[in-house]
């Protein structure tokens, strides 16, 4: 019964992730609310949600998502090249392949000086919003959020730069529970781009 409920929540969350661009945590919590379940209902783990997202994309977005994913990876690579001095690594849905045009781009930067990336944005007259978020080790890290236009998609995309210490790089590259690398550098992103379509099959 518990497994069936977790799957139901994951499927509802997947729809919110794909159709509304919600992050997985908020999507899971809203799914519980929309399903009329108690607020304390245990949430499905991210692996279950990811499987549901991939299934949803396969059913409803198979003709558009590959092109949108490629466009996001191309934009991510632009920002990785701009911020290459800070050892950028791409993570999240754009890295794992579950992103759509509603998804944001998450880049982890590994700096000797946490303020150096911020100074670089200021020097290039980039408007950004600083805030603190929970990092991959559960600690608070600085995040610089900005908006960048995707020429392929014709719209603004959120780009978030998470600032880590250089010493955190080794931990960031540890495999996840499924044995997959959780982030990739610019070279890895270029390899992914070689494997994805160059145009939308629906056009």
Alpha-carbon dihedral 176, 181, 184, 185, rounded to 10 degrees? 110
Q: Do 35 and 69 meet the contact criterion of CB atoms below 8 Å apart?
A: no
Q: Coil, helix or strand for 164? A: strand
Predicted TM-score (pTM) of the model is 0.91
Looking at the DSSP bridge assignments, the partners of residue 111 are 165
Q: Do 99 and 17 meet the contact criterion of CB atoms below 8 Å apart?
A: no
Alpha-carbon span 154 to 84, nearest angstrom = 25
Q: Can you give the pLDDT of all 203 residues of the chain as single tens digits? A: 468 999 999 999 999 999 999 999 999 999 999 999 999 999 999 999 999 999 999 999 999 999 999 999 999 999 999 999 999 999 999 999 999 999 999 999 999 888 999 999 999 899 999 999 999 888 899 999 999 999 999 999 999 999 999 999 888 888 888 888 899 999 999 999 988 666 554 43
């Amino acid at each position: 019964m518990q497994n069936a409920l977790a799957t139901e929540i994951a499927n509802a969350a997947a729809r919110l992730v794909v159709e509304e661009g919600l992050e997985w945590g908020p999507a899971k919590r809203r799914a519980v609310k929309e399903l009329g379940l108690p607020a304390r209902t245990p949430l499905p783990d991210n692996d279950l949600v990811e499987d549901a997202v991939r299934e949803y994309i396969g059913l409803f977005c198979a003709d558009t998502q590959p092109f949108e994913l490629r466009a996001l990876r191309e934009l991510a690579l632009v920002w990785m090249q701009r911020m290459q001095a800070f050892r950028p690594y791409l993570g999240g849905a754009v890295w794992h392949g579950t992103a759509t045009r509603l998804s944001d781009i998450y880049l982890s930067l590994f700096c000797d000086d946490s303020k150096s990336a911020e100074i670089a944005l200021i020097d290039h007259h980039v408007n950004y919003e600083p805030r603190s978020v929970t990092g991959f080790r559960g600690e608070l890290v600085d995040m610089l959020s900005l908006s960048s236009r995707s020429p392929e998609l014709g719209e603004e995309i959120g780009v978030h730069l998470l600032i880590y210490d250089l010493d955190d790089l080794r931990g960031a590259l540890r495999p996840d529970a499924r044995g997959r690398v959780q982030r990739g550098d610019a070279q890895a992103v270029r390899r992914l781009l070689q494997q994805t379509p160059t145009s939308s099959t629906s056009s």
